[in-house]
Amino acid sequence: MSQSERLVLATRYRLVSEIGHGANGTVWRGHDDLLDRAVAIKELRLPEDLSEDDRVVFYRRTLREARAPAQLRSTSIVEVYDVVIEQGRPWIVMELIESPSLEDLIERDGPLPPERVAHIGRQLLTALDEAHRSGIVHRDLKPSNVLLDGDRVVLTDFGLAFSSGSVKLTKTGHFMGSPAYVAPEVAAGEKATPRSDLWSLGATLYAAVEGKPPFERENVMATLSALANEPPPPPLRAGPLAPVIDGLLVKNPTRRLTHARATDRLERALNGPRSARRAAPATPRLRLMIVIALVSATVASCGIGAAALIFGMTKAKPGPSPTSPTRKTGSAGQPADAPPPGAESATLLVRAREDGCKIFVSVPGSKLTVLADETLSQGDARKYNQPKLTVVVSNAAACDVWVNGVQKPDGRPGERRTYTVDRSAPDDNSGG
């Protein structure tokens, strides 16, 4: 065990093992002996050549890093517990989150599905809104500072953050932040604002769906040059997230999406456009009832026997009863709403009753496993037998869904539905 690992800070925070390190210091897994809980401890190392004045600036920046998230109350922002000065340098004690970062996930799995990126973006928008309402600008939002703890998305590392009432501590001429994710106006020397954080969010979401940030080049200068002189490349894998990313990556900050507009576009990406969420069209029986009501009113005003006329309407032609509309037939000649072969034994079966049935099927867990992300043609069917699944169905009216052998209710045109499939809990799989 190294000398550092034997160190106990402020007589209570014991270093256990190293989690990671970088140019500015080391992050340790620690234990708070007083409260008997695991913690993360960030050790910040000062460069050897710093002058005494620069050391003072460094300490003040460290305290600012701790104060910024400590002022905020959000599950999407890492919680800071304490700051300790030990061995001539600061240590920040915070919530321990033993989960991969968004950067780790991108490096391991490549581009992520738009549905998952939309969920990440929604929680990051919530975190930024909380920070910005408190006068705090993060200034270094990037995938490595986003932790994914199950469904929870956590924004970390407020080391470059500042509040509207704080003194600017960055040295003149010293570039701070990550070039691939910094807003163009900040790279040009202007003051960081909430809208520059929103640019960084757009670059982060772009990297998540495309596998790399929009202006990443071979070195810092080439990246900054592209940032200043080139338009953002259009995202090719973003799907419904494209309007959100495009709106966040507008170079003019006054024309960039605000929190409210970005949130609205994200909601549309998650739930479909408002125009598609209209009420379902009337069924044949409902249409007949409407016609009967209108005819009844008309003939009554003319003195005609309404009952006789209505009876004649319903009996005029042989055919199926209005209470039993004609059943559509599938590709094999069987009724389209009849369960396909194998539906009873499958945990999930999806069949396209018409073109445009779009599905996203994944296996939940610490590592998301995507089984399908496709649009089915009429008559196509997909069957899955995994005990746990999550399926997102877009344009639900075009899809028939069976979960654990039970057919789910019909959806509306353009409606997005999510089903959680769990063989061990068959009653917990209703669509949302």
Active-site residues, by number, are: 140
Burial of 169 (0-12, 13-18, 19+ CB in 10 A): middle
Q: What are the residues whose beta carbons fall under 8 Å from the beta carbon of 126, sequence distance 6 or more? A: 74, 76
Q: How many residues are present in the chain? A: 432
Going by the annotation, the residues of the binding site for ATP are: 42
- Alpha carbons within 13 angstroms on the beta-carbon side of residue 362 total 16
Residue labelled with tokens 């019909």 = 410
Q: Could you count the other beta carbons within 10 Å of the beta carbon of residue 334?
A: 13
Contact 6/48 with Cβ under 8 angstroms?
Answer: no
DSSP string computed for 303-361:
T--HHHHHHHHHHSS-S--TTSPPPPB-TTSSBTTSPPTTTTT-SEEEEESSTTEEEEE
Other C-beta atoms closer than 10 Å to the C-beta of 391 total 24
- Alpha carbons within 13 angstroms on the beta-carbon side of residue 358 total 13
3-state secondary structure of 172: coil
Tokens standing for residue 20: 């990671």
CA pair distance 154, 32, nearest whole angstrom: 22
Cα angle for residues 250, 125, 263 (degrees, 5° grid): 70
Torsion of CA 137, 141, 144, 146, to 10 degrees: 80
Nearest-angstrom CA–CA distance, 202 and 263: 12
* Binding-site annotation: residue ranges: 42
Distance between CA atoms of residues 83 and 64, nearest Å: 10
Query: Could you give the CA distance from residue 362 to residue 355 in angstroms, rounded to a whole number?
Result: 22
Cα separation of 40 and 418, whole Å?
Answer: 35
